[in-house]
């Protein structure tokens, strides 16, 4: 497929990611709300979504002993305290303070105020019975300008958090980069600048030395693909560019950053495990045509193999390289030895699953299933099974953790103060059942983190979409366990459905 065709494909994908899902842009507010309301009734939260599995049949499913039931968050989305204790600015501070970028003009300045309320949030996690908590470390809290001596007050916060987890018998899982690049590094070229990958490894090294004795699992870069697509192609995430050629150079440097961080952990002599956190999308042809099959294969290259092959096979997929072309910034930016660094052996793969993608013969994407309030998200639990079994089939039996899966619901406390998110319960039940089937078919899945522990700042959507098991009343910062949180506590207690 020519570069031109690919461009057309991306343009279409951009349209479906905006018009179809005004969702992530936050710019087409009115349309988004109207469409969202109608899709919610279709398959989101009010009425249970169409089921791929039978809840009766799932009852009694038990997960392997010691299965790591967990929940996930990220720093910018929950912490707030944007200017405290020496924290520098990140690209998301800049982006969210730029008028028109975020729905309702929201920012992460206060978010769920977790920086001040972490002790209460730790108690919530304990009450839920969580066995694992996946959070991210804010790079600008550790290095305000992205380089140099680490800021002790920033490290101390994460030390308190990690100690608090251990006190409650919850295993910490720390992501090093969940999109909040120090603005100073962006000013020096951001991820287009190869040096940013080197800076990342230095930052990672500082964090390993400060916290490595207490953190058993590290994740390097959260969803590099989202930075590439949303940050550099569609422009509705920070840094807000629309430059496809730059985007794939960014992809390479993010992969390089991942590999360098893996090497830094090994060099530190620490025993922690480390791996990438990839959002994988099972891609299916929208029809039976040969054209749809070919377009789906290339789409899969861009969505999945670009990241998986480079890490697990030490090579970028040839179809994607051909499609980019020899003169592209990405292809010109790959130096001898880079893929050896990128494919440094990892201990586990973190998979984030939200939606399948259906591709037509002309490379555009269509919807087959009801969507959630996030219109880019089609609800299809079987996709979880497909992507997990495919990864194990194609890349070997690397241990897998699911680090994100969930959906947004228009949650509102009722007259009794309770939040009845029945749709989230059936969504999670169906996805847990699909994961359970994958385990039965040989996938070495060891843990599952629901996105998210708390309602939070959902990037371009601001605070409008609520993804949490726990409701956050932003005015008072009061937390309320939703029905799904109570249900999840029982799942964890039973170790199954």
- Footprint of ligand FCB on this chain (CB under 6 A)? 74, 77, 222-223, 226, 279, 404, 451, 458-459, 467
- Indicate which residue of 79, 89, 192, 223 is catalytic: 223
Minimum CB–partner distance for residue 374 and ligand FCB (Å):
7
CB of 209 to ligand FCB, least distance (A): 26
End-to-end CA distance of the chain: 45
Minimal distance, residue 152 CB to ligand FCB, in Å: 27
Which CB, 106 or 458, lies closer to ligand FCB?
A: 458
Q: To the nearest whole angstrom, how small is the minimum distance from the Cβ of residue 415 to ligand FCB?
A: 29
Smallest separation, CB 107 to ligand FCB (Å): 15
Residue of 192, 375, 404, 464 with catalytic role: 404
Residue with Cβ nearer ligand FCB (270 or 485): 485
Please say which residue, 244 or 458, places its beta carbon nearer to ligand FCB.
Answer: 458
Q: Looking at beta carbons only, is 26 or 285 nearer to ligand FCB? A: 26
Report the nearest approach of ligand FCB to the CB of residue 180 (Å): 11
4: exposed, middle or buried (C-beta count within 10 Å: 0-12, 13-18, 19+)? exposed
**Closer of 218 and 451 to ligand FCB (Cβ):** 451
Return the number of the residue (117 or 466) whose C-beta is nearest ligand FCB: 466
Closest by CA to 383, choosing from 279, 281, 277, is 281
Closest approach of ligand FCB to the CB of residue 376, in Å: 10
Residue 459 beta carbon to ligand FCB: minimum distance, rounded to whole angstroms: 6
Nearest CB to ligand FCB, comparing residues 339 and 348:
348
CB 365 within 8 A of CB 292: no
- The C-alpha atoms of residue 303 and residue 83 are separated, in whole angstroms, by 36
Nearer to ligand FCB, 323 or 461 (CB): 461
Is 223 considered catalytic here? yes
| Alpha carbon distance 306, 318 (integer Å) | 9
Looking at the annotation, which residues are catalytic?
223, 404
């Amino acid at each position: 497929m020519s570069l031109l065709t690919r461009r057309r494909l991306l343009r279409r994908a951009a349209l479906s990611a905006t018009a179809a899902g005004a969702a992530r842009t936050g710019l087409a507010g009115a349309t988004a709300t109207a469409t969202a309301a109608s899709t919610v009734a279709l398959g989101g939260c009010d009425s249970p979504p169409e089921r791929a599995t039978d809840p009766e049949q799932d009852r009694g499913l038990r997960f392997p002993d010691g299965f790591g039931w967990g929940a996930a968050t990220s720093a910018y989305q929950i912490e707030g305290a944007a200017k405290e204790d020496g924290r520098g600015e990140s690209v998301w501070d800049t982006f969210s303070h730029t008028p028109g970028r975020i729905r309702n003009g929201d920012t992460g300045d206060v978010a769920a105020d977790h920086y001040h309320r972490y002790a209460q949030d730790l108690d919530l996690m304990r009450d839920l019975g969580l066995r694992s908590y996946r959070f991210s470390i804010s790079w600008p809290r550790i290095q305000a300008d992205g380089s140099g001596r680490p800021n002790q007050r920033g490290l101390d916060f994460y030390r308190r958090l990690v100690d608090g987890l251990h006190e409650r018998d919850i295993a910490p899982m720390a992501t090093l980069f969940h999109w909040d690049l120090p603005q100073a590094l962006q000013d020096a070229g951001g991820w287009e600048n190869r040096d940013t990958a080197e800076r990342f490894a230095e930052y990672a090294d500082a964090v390993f030395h400060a916290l490595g004795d207490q953190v058993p699992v590290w994740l390097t870069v959260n969803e590099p693909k989202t930075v590439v697509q949303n940050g550099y192609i569609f422009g509705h995430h920070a840094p807000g560019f629309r430059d496809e050629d730059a985007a794939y150079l960014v992809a390479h440097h993010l992969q390089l950053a991942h590999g360098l961080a893996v090497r830094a952990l090994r060099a530190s002599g620490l025993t922690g495990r480390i791996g990438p956190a990839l959002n994988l999308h099972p891609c299916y042809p929208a029809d039976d045509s040969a054209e749809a099959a070919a377009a789906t294969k290339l789409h899969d290259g861009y969505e999945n193999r670009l990241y998986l092959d480079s890490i697990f096979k030490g090579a970028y997929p040839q179809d994607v390289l051909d499609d980019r072309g020899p003169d592209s910034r990405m292809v010109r930016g790959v130096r001898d030895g880079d893929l050896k660094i990128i494919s440094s052996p990892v201990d586990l793969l973190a998979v984030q699953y939200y939606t399948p993608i259906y591709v037509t013969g002309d490379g555009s994407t269509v919807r087959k299933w009801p969507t959630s309030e996030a219109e880019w998200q089609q609800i299809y639990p079987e996709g979880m099974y497909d992507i997990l079994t495919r990864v194990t089939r194609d890349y070997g039996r690397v241990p897998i953790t699911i680090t994100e899966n969930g959906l947004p619901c228009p949650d509102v406390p009722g007259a009794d103060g309770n939040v009845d998110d029945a749709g989230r319960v059936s969504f999670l039940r169906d996805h847990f059942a699909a994961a359970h089937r994958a385990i039965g078919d040989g996938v070495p899945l060891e843990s599952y983190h629901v996105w998210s522990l708390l309602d939070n700042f959902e990037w371009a959507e601001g605070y409008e979409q609520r993804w949490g098991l726990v409701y956050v009343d932003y005015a008072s910062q009061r937390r309320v366990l939703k029905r799904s949180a109570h249900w999840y506590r029982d799942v964890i207690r039973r170790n199954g459905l």
